[in-house]
Structure 1
Amino acid sequence: LHSQLFVAELQGRMSETPPKAWKSGLFDCFEDVNTCCYGFWCCPFLACTVSRRFGENYCLPLSCGVPLFVPPAGLSLRASIRNKHGLKGSLCEDILASCCCVWCSWCQMHRELKEHTPVVVVMQQPQT
Structure 2
Amino acid sequence: MASWSTGFCGCFSDCGSCCLTLWCPCVSFGRVAEIVDKGTTTCCVHGLLYCLLGGFSHFGSIYACIYRTKLRRVFGIHGSQTCDCLTSCCCVHISICQEHRELEARGFNVSAGWKGNVQMGSRGVTAAPAVQGGMSRLVEYNYYYHR
User: Which runs of 5 or more structure 1 residues have no equivalent in the other structure?
Assistant: 1-18
CA distance in 1, matches of 2:68, 2:105: 15
Deviation at 1:88, TM superposition (A): 1.1
TM-score, structure 2 length as denominator? 0.63
Is 1:112 the counterpart of 2:102 in the alignment?
yes
CA distance in 1, matches of 2:47, 2:84: 16
User: Which runs of 5 or more structure 2 residues have no equivalent in the other structure?
Assistant: 109-116, 126-146
Q: How many residues in Structure 1 have an aligned counterpart in Structure 2?
A: 107
Q: Please identify runs of 4+ aligned residues in structure 1 that moved more than 6 A.
A: none
1:13-24 equivalent positions in 2, closer than 5 A? 19-24=1-6
Give CA-to-partner distance per residue, 1:10-58, whole Å, 9 cap, x none. Answer: xxxxxxxxx1110111111111110001111111111111112222522
CA contact (8 A) 2:65 2:84 kept: yes
The answer to which of 23-32 and 109-118 deviates more is 109-118
Deviation at 1:61, TM superposition (A): 4.6
Of structures 1 and 2, the larger Rg is shown by: 2
Structure 1's 87 and 34: CA in aligned 2 closer, same or farther, altered over 3 A? Answer: same
Task: Pick from 84, 95, 100 the counterpart of residue 74 of structure 2.
Answer: 84
Deviation at 1:97, TM superposition (A): 0.8
Is 1:26 the counterpart of 2:8 in the alignment?
yes
> 1 or 2, which has the higher helix percentage?
2
CA-based RMSD of the aligned residues comes to: 2.3
